[in-house]
Amino acid sequence: MSAAPPPTPGDKREATPQNIATAITEVSERATLLVREEIELAKAEITEKATKLVKGAIVGVAAGVFFLMALIFVLVGCAWLLYYYLPGNDFTYFWGFFAMAVILVVLGVLAGLIAGKAVKRGAPPVPSMAIEEARKIREAVSAPAAETGPVSPPASATVTPQPAAVPGGES
């Protein structure tokens, strides 16, 4: 005789708002997680591109050093050449300086080409993958609403409206 009374329609109505609140909380948590993951993706992408830019800048500085050294050797070689053409001298030291300048120019050109490629790959540091993912998410979220109008709950989840106060229903 101490069996629990069968649930009344009012009990079912009380459970539904709790389910809706749980669903809203879950959707909110998932949306927050999705936004955090997109931010992390953007950070990783920016870091990767900035690293490429820094590497390109370092190789560019190396190319500048090679060209500066080549200029110094060319100028010293020219100085020795002038010395050679002065009357009364039989020295030919300048050919070593010119050979070294040619080697440094070749190294500078190679380093400059490598730096140019690295800078082109890394610039501008825009998180294109994160932007593409955000665009896809926006399309996925807005596509059903645009095609079918306002989103309505499934038929099994609809709750029939109950009168606010039922006479004699409250105890």
pLDDT tens profile 126-145: 777 788 888 888 888 786 55
Report whether the peptide linkage leading into residue 124 is cis, meaning its omega lies within 30 degrees of zero. Answer: yes
Pick the closest to residue 50 from 96, 119, 99, 108 (CA basis).
119
pTM, two decimals, is: 0.47
pLDDT tens profile 90-105: 666 666 667 777 888 8
- Which is more confident, 110 or 138? 110
pLDDT band at 123; cut points 50, 70, 90? low
Alpha-carbon radius of gyration of the chain: 38
The amino acid at residue 137 is I
Q: Which two tokens stand for residue 23?
A: 């669903």
Looking at residues 110-119, what average pLDDT do you find?
90
For 112, other C-beta atoms within 10 Å of its C-beta total 17
- Which is more confident, 97 or 32? 32
Residue 57 pLDDT exceeds 80 = yes
